[in-house]
Amino acid sequence: MTRRLLYDVTGLLHWYAYFRRPAGVQRVIEKIGASDALQSAARSRQGQRSVEFVVRLVGTARFCRLDPSLLIDLNEARARTVPMLRRRFAESLVRSPPRGLLADGRYFHVPYLLAGLATLWSKRLAPLDPPTKHDAYFSPGDLWWQRGYARALSDLKKSTGARLLQVVFDFHVEERRDWSPLGFSRVFSRELRGIAPHVDHWIAGSDTVAGQLTRRLGDWSVPPRPISAWRYGWDTFASPGLDAASDDSTLERLGVGHRPYILFVGTIEPRKNIGSLLDALEWVRESLGERVPPLVIAGGCGWRAGALRRRIAEKIRDGHAHWIRDADDAALAALYRRARFSVMPSLGEGYGLAIQESLGHGTPCIASDREAMREAGGRLARYFDPRRHESLRDALLDWIGDQAAVDTARAGIRDWLDHSRLPSWNEAGEALLRYAFDG
């Protein structure tokens, strides 16, 4: 008897139907899916444990298998892989029954449904053998793509006895509805509340989120179940382009060149607090003038970012900013390594992956003093109070005006990394296998 971990990539296909690069949630889902631990289990079908990457047919309790190598290809050949995922997405919609599409479909399914109906797609999604009580189903936290998702998973659990593992990255989408698209928070809240009584093992984005989840489940009178805090990896970008010549070439291609710069990695949206970072840099520039390096932004444009986008465009015209919207893994590696320091001014994170990545590459980071972000940065990052504008200004003024302070921070990171190490994505994959098969 083979026990299976059914790794749901339905939401990942939804995302890549419309976007070329991942945001934070998608990065976690695909990086863990591409880990050696899960890929090895997916390739080995003869043992007692295996992994299947599955796509739910909208409005049904049926699933198809996705080729596991596509998760690796997203890291290594994204430009070629994203169109393939879009074809799989269209195929999944064509296979969904009309009644199910009407019940659980959403407006953004329509273009791909029409494309699937108009084109003879090659049949690449193989049917999945029905889940059993020996299997575990992994719901990776992106609950908002389909109406009735929670109902479908609760029905699956009742009819098959499969264990349900549910991720919660953070609660910001509920707490600050003005940070998300209209209706997004309502869908998330409804689906999370609906699925909660059926979860066998919760996986939180950090110890901070685990504590918040514990309190909410108590408020909802949901029976207690194990809650584990994941440790994300930083090593996504560890292998490409480690030599100096390769970094030089990459930064030239990106238009950054050899000049010093300050780095921000993340999506441009209100939660990331980019406006305060731009304000603080303007203030520091009044004191230090051209000694202030330009800000390099690496990330896509998110929701409710029109004003920020216009403001960044002004900074680019002034030569004070450079925006890279489509950086691949090798480019991000070079950007982290060559930055004078990075800044994560976010008002709220479930963890703070960009902080950990910066430190993993030996680059100092200034970060908001939030509980979850301290989990990512530990004693290696420098923190500022996001409620006080002068706090970020002072931190920037110190590190821009005093190279020795940055060098001291960098030496402290290097010394720590010589004796300790940050978690890897493969360790996160191994942890998921333990949650699935060992309780």
Give 48-71 pLDDT, tens digit per residue. Answer: 889 999 998 888 888 999 999 999
Closest CA to 24 of 342, 296, 369, 346: 346
Question: What is the band of 400 on the pLDDT scale with cuts at 50, 70, 90?
Answer: very high
**Minimum mean pLDDT among 173-182, 273-282, 363-372: which range?**
173-182
- Per-residue pLDDT at 41: 93
CA dihedral of residues 351, 355, 356, 359 (deg, nearest 10): -160
- Per-residue pLDDT at 20: 85
Mean pLDDT of 128-155: 89
Residue with tokens 């799989």: 88
Q: Which two tokens stand for residue 179?
A: 């940070």
Domains of the chain with bracketed CATH = 3-233+425-438 (3.40.50), 238-419 (3.40.50.2000)
Kindly calculate the radius of gyration of the chain based on its CA atoms and give it in whole angstroms.
22
How far apart CA 179 and CA 302 sit, in angstroms, is 10
How far apart CA 29 and CA 13 sit, in angstroms, is 11
- Per-residue pLDDT at 241: 46
Question: What is the band of 379 on the pLDDT scale with cuts at 50, 70, 90?
Answer: very high
Mean pLDDT of 409-422: 94
Highest-pLDDT range among 104-118, 149-163, 284-298 = 284-298
- Per-residue pLDDT at 123: 67
- Per-residue pLDDT at 240: 47
Q: Find out whether 368 and 391 touch, Cβ atoms under 8 Å.
A: no
Mean pLDDT of 131-153: 88
* Residue 34: other Cβ atoms inside 10 A: 22
What DSSP designation does 268 have?
Answer: B
Q: Over 90: is that where the pLDDT of 237 sits?
A: no
Give 160-208 pLDDT, tens digit per residue. Answer: 999 999 999 999 888 887 777 767 788 888 889 999 999 999 999 999 9
Residue with tokens 């996001």: 386
- Distant-in-sequence, close-in-space partners of 187: CB < 8 Å, separation ≥ 6: 143, 144, 147
What is the value of pTM for the model shown? 0.91
Alpha-helical runs (H) found in 176-270: 184-195, 207-219, 244-254
* Element (DSSP H or E) covering residue 338: helix 329-338
Mean pLDDT of 318-338: 91
Q: Over 90: is that where the pLDDT of 114 sits?
A: no
